[in-house]
Structure 1
Amino acid sequence: MSQEPGEILDKSLIIDIVRQTARDRELDSDQVFELIEEALARILHRNNGRAGSFLVSIERDSLAMESWQVWEVIDDDEPIEQVDTQMPLEAAREIDAEAAIGGEVRLACESPRLDNHANAQIFKQKFVSCLRRAERSKLLADLLERGDRLLGGTVKNIDKTTHDYIIEVQRVECRLRRGDAIPKENLRRGDRIRCLLLEIKEDPNRGKMVYLTRANEDFLKELFRREVPEIEKGILEIVSVARDPGYRSKIAVRSKDTRVDPVGTCVGMRGSRVQSVTADLSGEKVDIIPWSEDEMSFVLQSLAPAEIESVRVTGPKACDVIVAQDNLAKAIGKSGMNVKLASQLTGWQLNITDPEDAESRENERIDRKQKYFMRYMNIDENVARILYEEGFNTIEDLADAEKAELLEIEGFSDEAVDDIMAQAQQALARMEKDLSEKTASAEPELMEMVEDKAMLRTLLLNDIINLETLAEMDIDELQDRTKNEIGEADAIALVMQARERVTPAAE
């Protein structure tokens, strides 16, 4: 049976295919026609040596078919990168006088013939492929329309190349990458699991790809939101989360109703709610911490189950947490996990130490601050110590202080306070001038690496203005150069960071 120009072979068959496919796949008839058009255009592309862009249109009632080759119109001065799909404006206007840059021009071409066996095979393969993609897009649209981020699915397969898990969620194949899975769990085909919708990416070959996660902190939040109705209703709020997937997590919760206990509510009757979350996390331990506006109280709570003796603030968002020697291991946790998670949860830099070490560190800090004040101001050791103990950490603190604030310090006379404030202003002016000059000649990489402004200031004022100089120093040398204004731990960290950045460049 021959095919007439402008027609598709066997109209009744095509109509039956469209109707049945639309019914079985829950697609619109128009969508099915578009898939047929795409499959037919693929035949033209294949028959043209897999080059060029083609368009096929089918009239819905008569099933008359028209075909075109399509080119993108580019500027005459623009180089042609794809001769089969791009055409200069001048040449395009010979085809269509109204052609414009960025638009397209079409040339009618012979429509594909389906009574050709090779064409029929290409059509069948492409149509099935397009159909699967369209069906998947619809299923995905239906899934996303529900608005759920927490999704339940079944492990369908494991990608042998990437070792990613293929998870089927409501007939949609999703991907759980190894890096987004809980590290210690070993999922098997057929396992039922819950995941969090992470992102949707467009793949040129496979269409929209759905990526899931079980390692994300938001996954933990969503599990609690699902298990604890008070969170869903807004009575409780999850303030922050810190997580080491598969091992331990900490979650800070606060109540907007004083009658509702945030911790007890999240734990549930006999631990039922938190146990349900833990089961979804493959046994990951979860500490529930009551959030507090009092930052020190929050810090103490975050280190549970360790018992804390005291806390000593050592800088902005930094403190020494002092615990008894026999409680030190519990406070730090296995591989430092407890203190690391507590730091992430609170946003504070926490240093766990015992009373003896804490005293030694504090004496070291006092010594550094005494030398710092004595270096820039004409004051004795006792005055420098008193200033530090009263909360003045820098020359700027003194320069910005109110006179009444200093007069409250026992033993400070009116005359002494005037002298201290005048010296602080003069010292600050000298430092700012010196610092401005050093900053102008400092290496940008050093400025970027050292985020602590006070520490950066100390380095620059002591002529350490590039990474190479810092990397070549040993710890004692750096502390000597900075008159011990930088402590040993910070000095070690600075030198190691500088060496890490300099060594690759040298290689």
Structure 2
Amino acid sequence: MAITSANQLELLQTAEAVAREKMIDPGLVVEAMEESLARAAKSRYGADMDIRVSIDRKTGRATFTRVRTVVPDDELENYQAELTVEQAKQYLENPQIGDEIKDEVPPVELGRIAAQSAKQVILQKVREAERDRQYDEFKDRVGTIINGVVKREEYGNVIVDIGRGEGILRRNEKIGRETYRPNDRIRCYIKDVRREVRGPQVFLSRTAPEFMAELFKMEVPEIYDGIIEIKAVARDPGSRAKIAVISYDSSIDPVGACVGMRGSRVQAVVNELQGEKIDIIPWNDDQPTFLVNALQPAEVSKVVLDEDAGKIEVVVPDEQLSLAIGRRGQNVRLASQLTGLDIDILTEAEESERRQAEFAERTKLFMDSLDLDEFFAQLLVSEGFTNLEEVAYVDVDELLVIDGVDEETATELQARARDVLEEANRSALAHARELGVEDSLVDFEGLTPQMIEALAEDGVKSLEDFATCADWELAGGWTTVNGERVKDDGVLEKFDVSLEEAQNLVMTARIQLGWVDPADLASDEEETEVEEESEA
């Protein structure tokens, strides 16, 4: 095959046909042809030569050009593709480093091997262009639903024809009892698109919570229009799901809109998810209220929220316990996923037992510490007193409301409580000093003797040691490890020191030591306020 003898327009016609078939830019195919012809020319004229080919986009004429670059004398290495300034003067009047001298050379005759090589180059370039096009097309569709046709199944994974490419529905992304045969139509959620050596990989899912949210968006016009928003979704794929919705139009009921007339809208989603039962729950910014909704159909008697720990205790009637927990813990697990809280469920009987145990424990504390009889100690607990500090430093009037307590009795109670606390403080401080606590920590305002003792037992014995502590090391906190919340115990956690209080204590210590300039803190706070105002 020789370029000179071939129909020159045939090159352009071939490029157009390939580009149309693969749905890529014809210019990319022509560039691949130019590169393949240049390689063939190098095999004819010599691999050291810099041969370039240009195909005219209108006529299809291929021009072969030899290019030589002007380089400094000491850098001349390739005599076929480079020449010195002195040598270049034969071709240019005033040659400069980097100038190129181009000479047209005769077109080459493509033998069978050269033609095959050229074909491979073109195919490779076309394949790369096709992969780039597929990636660019699908990467912007991540987070949407796509319809496809099942092509085959490999090791439990389903390969899906999604139009201009293939997607893979992994075994763990299929709803449990689903089976597919070739040519079955399938609807999936595009979870991820990645570039890989073998081309772009489109990963599909039918178990993702977002899949159900997108299905509702398709079935409920109010969600698509933004009048109703899906705030949270939790799924046990193929079995049960909970979805929380809120309406920004007071005239529209979000739950009713999602259910539809005679359940038509929700039923369409249920059918797509192979009969998965769906609880539609009204969203509420108040977490306890939202949790009560999330635990439907179970009834809730009481909710106790611990925001710092991200935990919540739910008390339900004894006969509602199994309903609240659900089959194999499904109901409470989905409610936990929906709210983002760890949920402990107690029956009313269990909560009553716990309250009785706490009552007995506090009664014993007052009996032993204040030398009171059981009846009087129970009166204190009944009035809401939980520790000696409350008794010692509360306003006397709050003690006088207790039956049988006059001013003299109240004063005596407070005196006893203060004596016990002062003795405990002396003992704690003495123990801390035995452990080697320095005066700098003892004199630091904001720490009680018991706190100083706890710090000393943990190895914090000076103000410098204290200033290096992180707030969570003092107040405790929670860390998410492998999707599970893990408790981090704080040194001062048992003294009810909050994270904010721990931050303030540590920062005060750093300022006293001169590690932090208060002026810098003030400027940082001003910048934060300005940023918040601008965002608002």
- What TM-score do the two structures reach when normalised by structure 2? 0.61
Say if 2:28 is the partner of 1:31.
Answer: yes
Q: Secondary structure at the match of 2:313?
A: strand
Residue equivalent to 2:63 = 64
Query: Aligned match of 1:222 in 186, 198, 214?
Result: 214
Contact 2:245 2:281 in 1 (8 A): yes
Residue equivalent to 1:247 = 239
Instruction: Using the TM superposition, give the Cα deviation of residue 284 of structure 1 relative to its aligned residue in structure 2, in angstroms.
Output: 1.7
Contact 1:251 1:289 in 2 (8 A): yes
Amino acid at match of 1:429: T
Contact 2:288 2:305 in 1 (8 A): no
In 1, Cα distance between equivalents of 2:41 and 2:106: 8
In 1, Cα distance between equivalents of 2:40 and 2:175: 45
Say if 2:145 is the partner of 1:131.
Answer: no
Residue equivalent to 2:433 = none
Contact 2:243 2:279 in 1 (8 A): yes
Residue equivalent to 2:150 = 155
Query: Aligned match of 2:250 in 235, 245, 258?
Result: 258
Contact 1:38 1:55 in 2 (8 A): no
In structure 2, do the counterparts of structure 1 residues 427 and 25 end up closer, same or farther at CA, with 3 Å as the change threshold?
closer
- Listed one character per residue, the Cα deviations across residues 136-172 of structure 1 (whole Å, up to 9, x for unaligned) are 5445545667897121212222234xx4322222332
- Listed one character per residue, the Cα deviations across residues 231-289 of structure 1 (whole Å, up to 9, x for unaligned) are 11222111111122222211111111222111111111111111111122222221111
Say if 2:366 is the partner of 1:361.
Answer: no
- What TM-score do the two structures reach when normalised by structure 1? 0.64
Amino acid at match of 1:457: V
Amino acid at match of 1:339: V
Find the structure with the greater CA-based Rg: 2
- Listed one character per residue, the Cα deviations across residues 440-459 of structure 1 (whole Å, up to 9, x for unaligned) are 59999x97996577843379
Query: Aligned match of 1:231 in 213, 220, 223?
Result: 223
Instruction: Using the TM superposition, give the Cα deviation of residue 135 of structure 1 relative to its aligned residue in structure 2, in angstroms.
Output: 3.8
Q: Secondary structure at the match of 1:457?
A: coil
Query: Aligned match of 1:16 in 8, 13, 16?
Result: 13
In 2, Cα distance between equivalents of 1:96 and 1:280: 71
Residue equivalent to 1:301 = 293
In structure 2, do the counterparts of structure 1 residues 28 and 295 end up closer, same or farther at CA, with 3 Å as the change threshold?
closer
Query: Aligned match of 1:213 in 198, 205, 209?
Result: 205
Say if 2:187 is the partner of 1:194.
Answer: yes
Amino acid at match of 2:452: K
In 2, Cα distance between equivalents of 1:308 and 1:181: 34
- Listed one character per residue, the Cα deviations across residues 201-245 of structure 1 (whole Å, up to 9, x for unaligned) are 111332x22222222222121111111111112221111111222
Amino acid at match of 2:173: D
- Aligned pairs for 1:33-182 (under 5 A) are 33-37=30-34, 57-60=53-56, 62-65=61-64, 115-135=110-130, 137-138=132-133, 141=136, 149-160=144-155, 163-182=156-175
Q: Secondary structure at the match of 1:306?
A: coil
Contact 2:477 2:489 in 1 (8 A): no
Q: Secondary structure at the match of 2:252?
A: coil
- Listed one character per residue, the Cα deviations across residues 63-110 of structure 1 (whole Å, up to 9, x for unaligned) are 224699xxxxxxxxxxxxxxxxxxxx989999799xxxxxxxx9x9x9
Contact 2:42 2:51 in 1 (8 A): no
In 2, Cα distance between equivalents of 1:111 and 1:409: 115
Contact 2:311 2:341 in 1 (8 A): yes
- In the alignment of these two chains, the number of paired residues is 416
In structure 2, do the counterparts of structure 1 residues 155 and 310 end up closer, same or farther at CA, with 3 Å as the change threshold?
same
Q: Secondary structure at the match of 2:62?
A: coil
In 1, Cα distance between equivalents of 2:232 and 2:116: 57
- Aligned pairs for 1:460-499 (under 5 A) are none
RMSD: 5.4
Query: Aligned match of 1:457 in 491, 507, 518?
Result: 491
In 2, Cα distance between equivalents of 1:56 and 1:356: 88
Query: Aligned match of 1:348 in 333, 341, 348?
Result: 341
Contact 2:142 2:192 in 1 (8 A): no
Contact 1:140 1:172 in 2 (8 A): no
In 1, Cα distance between equivalents of 2:277 and 2:186: 18
In 2, Cα distance between equivalents of 1:393 and 1:44: 94
Instruction: Using the TM superposition, give the Cα deviation of residue 339 of structure 1 relative to its aligned residue in structure 2, in angstroms.
Output: 0.4
Instruction: Using the TM superposition, give the Cα deviation of residue 129 of structure 1 relative to its aligned residue in structure 2, in angstroms.
Output: 4.5
In structure 2, do the counterparts of structure 1 residues 37 and 205 end up closer, same or farther at CA, with 3 Å as the change threshold?
farther
In 2, Cα distance between equivalents of 1:270 and 1:215: 26
Residue equivalent to 2:526 = none
Contact 1:8 1:63 in 2 (8 A): no
Contact 1:165 1:178 in 2 (8 A): yes
Contact 1:152 1:192 in 2 (8 A): yes
In structure 2, do the counterparts of structure 1 residues 39 and 229 end up closer, same or farther at CA, with 3 Å as the change threshold?
farther
Tell which deviates more after alignment, 303-312 or 56-65. 56-65
Residue equivalent to 2:264 = 272
